[in-house]
Homo-oligomer: A and B are copies of this chain.
Amino acid sequence: MVQIPRTPDPAPPAPLPVPTSTDVARRAGVSRATVSYVLNGSGTVRISEPTRRRVQQAARELGYVPHAAARALRSGHSRMVLVTAPSYPAGPIYHRFLDELQWALGRLGYTVVQHGTAPRHGARGPYSDDAARTWAELRPVAVLVPGSGLRPDAVDLLRRSGARAVLTLGPETVPGAHALLTDHEAVGHRAGRHLHDRGRRRIGVVVPTEPGHEVFATPRLAGVRRAVAGTTATVTELPLAYAEGDAARLAADWGPLGLDAVFAYNDEYAMLLMRALQDEGLGVPEDVALLGADDLMLGRLLRPRLSTVHLELPSGRDLAALVDRAVRDPAAPPERHTVLGAQVVHRESS
């Protein structure tokens, strides 16, 4: 960070005392109870119009903002939905989904808060109790955990701390938690079947070596295997780091592999590999068919245009509704939903 020359700047006003509902009450000449009634529009109690006005004006003049923590403490529950940071590097698809979810939950009166305790080096394990404890301290009414690694005891901890619903969005179910299953096995299966349908018989499957991707890569690989089970086709695992050098290495050793198709994990790895293959003089799709996933824009810009598996997360509205339902009936048995739409988009590379 570089300090740049600055013109003298007016110091901010000394920290004023934060106005409370008591201040509003005093200023409006009413009791705190009345203030609360006016500002929260309690259903049962009626306040006269003049009083109501005085209170609202006093609140405005003071810049009064209610204290969410105090409210939660008193009322025994918050409207906070905590979304934890995904355990994997999230892409544009996830962010669009989260945006939608936030908006939909907002309409239902919830406040969405993201907590990014990304598991760092040296952490004891995925979603160690430490992380879950931090979440629990916030006393969210619901917790959504995208990705994998949520442990059953963490679910327990959260529920015992008052969370009325715990939901996972990922490849596995966790006891006690509602599950939105992203069925990556099905993604692999679609990919495998597509390549097999196109007449390919020696299929490679890229498995990123970067940590955090196993969650998707493993079931996708299994899906491809299942797709060609009972046929003459073979499936070969292709570890690959997201780096030019590694792709070049893989491409250089391509011959002996004898592969005629690759499901490249996603569009970005596909682009990486396509480039390396082409640089090595191999033809796509003549020599080797290439299939990505995610349907990113960049796939359409490649030559040949990249075939891909288009993925679709659940609509934010649907998920918001599920959260709301779960919160209203915390004792209901966990729901399980399959939420990952997967569809092959056939373009030119396969």
Contacts and interface: CB of A to CB of B under 8 A. Distances in A.
A43 interface: no
Contact of A1 (B4, B92, B111, B338): B338
A331 B15 CA distance: 7
Interface residues of A, number: 85
Q: Copies of this chain, how many?
A: 2
A256 interface: no
A12 B65 contact: no
Given A15-B164, A297-B272, A69 B66 contact: no
B242 A297 contact: yes
Contacts of A3: 335-337
A272 B301 contact: yes
A118 B102 contact: yes
Given A9-B333, A12-B159, A68-B139, A301 B113 contact: no
A95 B90 contact: yes
A328 interface: no
Interface string A43-75: 000000000000000000001011111101100
Interface stretch (A129-137, A202-210, A214-222): A129-137
A120 B136 contact: no
Contacts of A13: 159
A92 B103 CA distance: 23
A302 B217 CA distance: 26
> Lowest 10 A-B CB distances belong to which pairs?
A69-B69, A114-B114, A68-B137, A65-B136, A9-B333, A275-B301, A1-B337, A18-B162, A11-B333, A102-B116
A73 B20 CA distance: 12
